[in-house]
Amino acid sequence: MSKRKPQSLTFKSLLLSNPAGLGVALLIGAISCLAGIALLAISGWFLSAAGLASVLGTALVFNYFTPGALIRLMAILRTAGRYGEQVMAHDFLLGLLRSLRLWVWDQRVATPMQQLHQQTHGDLLQRIVGDLDQVIKWPLAVLMPWLYGLLACAGVMGLAAWVAPQLVWPVLLYSVLQLVFLPWLAQRLAARAVYSMQVLATLRRGRFMGLFQALITLTIRGNWQSYSARLDMLDQRQKQAQQRLQKVSSSIKLVSQLLTFLLLVAVIASVVKFDQAALVLREAIAAPWLVALLLSILGLNEVLQPLAQSFIAQGQSKVGLKRLNQLQQAPTVSSNVVGISSIEQLQVTDFIGRYSSLQRAAQQRAKFVISTGQSVRITGPSGAGKSACLAALAGDIPYLGQVLVNGQSININDHNGWCQRIAYLPQQAVIFQQSLAANLRLGDPDASDEQLRHVLAILGLGEWLQALPQGLNTLLGAQGRDVSGGQARRIALARVLLRQSDVLLLDEPFDGLDKVSIARVCEALDQPEFRPKLLLYVSHVATALDQRAKAVTVQ
Greater model confidence, 463 or 354:
463
Distance CA 241, CA 257 (A): 24
The answer to whether 159 and 41 are in contact (CB under 8 A) is yes
Distance CA 47, CA 50 (A): 5
- What is the pLDDT, as a whole number, of residue 172? 94
Q: Within this chain, do residues 296 and 380 fall inside the same structural domain, yes or no?
A: no
Mean pLDDT, the chain, whole residue set: 79
Distance CA 511, CA 13 (A): 48
Query: Is position 302 within any domain?
Result: yes
- What is the pLDDT, as a whole number, of residue 3? 43
| Poorest-pLDDT segment among 2-6, 247-251, 470-474 | 2-6
Q: Within this chain, do residues 112 and 186 fall inside the same structural domain, yes or no?
A: yes
Query: Is position 92 within any domain?
Result: yes
Q: Within this chain, do residues 496 and 392 fall inside the same structural domain, yes or no?
A: yes
Query: What letter would DSSP give residue 1?
Result: -
- What is the pLDDT, as a whole number, of residue 176? 94
**pLDDT for 86-137, tens place per residue?**
788 878 878 887 887 777 777 776 666 555 555 555 556 666 777 777 787 7
Crossing angle of the two packed helices 168-176 and 144-163, in degrees rounded to 10: 170
Is 60 exceeded by the pLDDT of residue 427? Answer: yes
Amino acid identity for residue 192 in this structure: R
Greater model confidence, 370 or 2:
370
Is 60 exceeded by the pLDDT of residue 2? Answer: no
Distance CA 465, CA 195 (A): 52
Spell 279-299 as b/e; 16+ CB within 10 A means b.
Answer: eeeeeebbebbbbbbbbbbeb
| Poorest-pLDDT segment among 208-212, 340-344, 484-488 | 208-212
Is 50 exceeded by the pLDDT of residue 4? Answer: no
Helix (H, G, I), strand (E, B) or coil at 410: strand
CA torsion 486-491-493-494 (nearest 10°) is: 140
Average pLDDT for 152-180: 91
- What is the pLDDT, as a whole number, of residue 276? 67
C-alpha 450: how far from chain center: 38
Rg of the chain over CA atoms, in angstroms? 35
Is 90 exceeded by the pLDDT of residue 22? Answer: no
Q: Within this chain, do residues 274 and 365 fall inside the same structural domain, yes or no?
A: no
Crossing angle of the two packed helices 19-56 and 287-304, in degrees rounded to 10: 150
The answer to whether 477 and 532 are in contact (CB under 8 A) is no
Local confidence band at 260 (pLDDT 50, 70, 90 cut-offs): very high
Query: Is position 330 within any domain?
Result: no
- What is the pLDDT, as a whole number, of residue 170? 92
- What is the pLDDT, as a whole number, of residue 111? 65
Query: Is position 500 within any domain?
Result: yes
Is 90 exceeded by the pLDDT of residue 335? Answer: no
10 Å Cβ neighbour count for 517?
18
Q: Which domain does 212 fall in, by range? A: 11-325
Spell 222-261 as b/e; 16+ CB within 10 A means b.
Answer: eeeeeeeeeeeeeeebbeebeebbeebbebbbebbeebbe
Is 80 exceeded by the pLDDT of residue 173? Answer: yes
Q: Within this chain, do residues 312 and 454 fall inside the same structural domain, yes or no?
A: no
Is 60 exceeded by the pLDDT of residue 505? Answer: yes
Helix (H) or strand (E) holding 46: helix 19-56
Residues 6+ apart with CB under 8 A from 306: 141, 145
Long-range CB pairs of 95-100 (<8 Å, 24+ gap) are 95/17, 95/18, 95/21, 96/14, 96/17, 96/18, 96/136, 96/139, 97/132, 97/136, 99/14, 99/17, 99/18, 100/9, 100/14, 100/132, 100/135, 100/136, 100/324
pTM for this model (two decimals): 0.61
Local confidence band at 217 (pLDDT 50, 70, 90 cut-offs): low
Distance CA 550, CA 553 (A): 10
| Domains of the chain: total | 2
Distance CA 352, CA 555 (A): 11
Greater model confidence, 179 or 479:
179
Is 90 exceeded by the pLDDT of residue 20? Answer: no
Is 80 exceeded by the pLDDT of residue 437? Answer: yes
Is 60 exceeded by the pLDDT of residue 338? Answer: no
Q: Within this chain, do residues 491 and 535 fall inside the same structural domain, yes or no?
A: yes
Closest CA to 200 of 220, 230, 226, 156: 230
Angle at 245 (CA atoms; ends 244, 248), nearest 5 degrees? 85
Local confidence band at 488 (pLDDT 50, 70, 90 cut-offs): confident
Local confidence band at 337 (pLDDT 50, 70, 90 cut-offs): very low
Distances (CA, A) of 465 to 70, 428, 430, 491: 67, 22, 19, 11
**pLDDT for 185-194, tens place per residue?**
888 888 777 7
Q: Within this chain, do residues 408 and 524 fall inside the same structural domain, yes or no?
A: yes
| CATH number of the domain within which 410 lies | 3.40.50.300
Average pLDDT for 235-242: 79
| CATH number of the domain within which 49 lies | 1.20.1560.10
Q: Within this chain, do residues 410 and 511 fall inside the same structural domain, yes or no?
A: yes
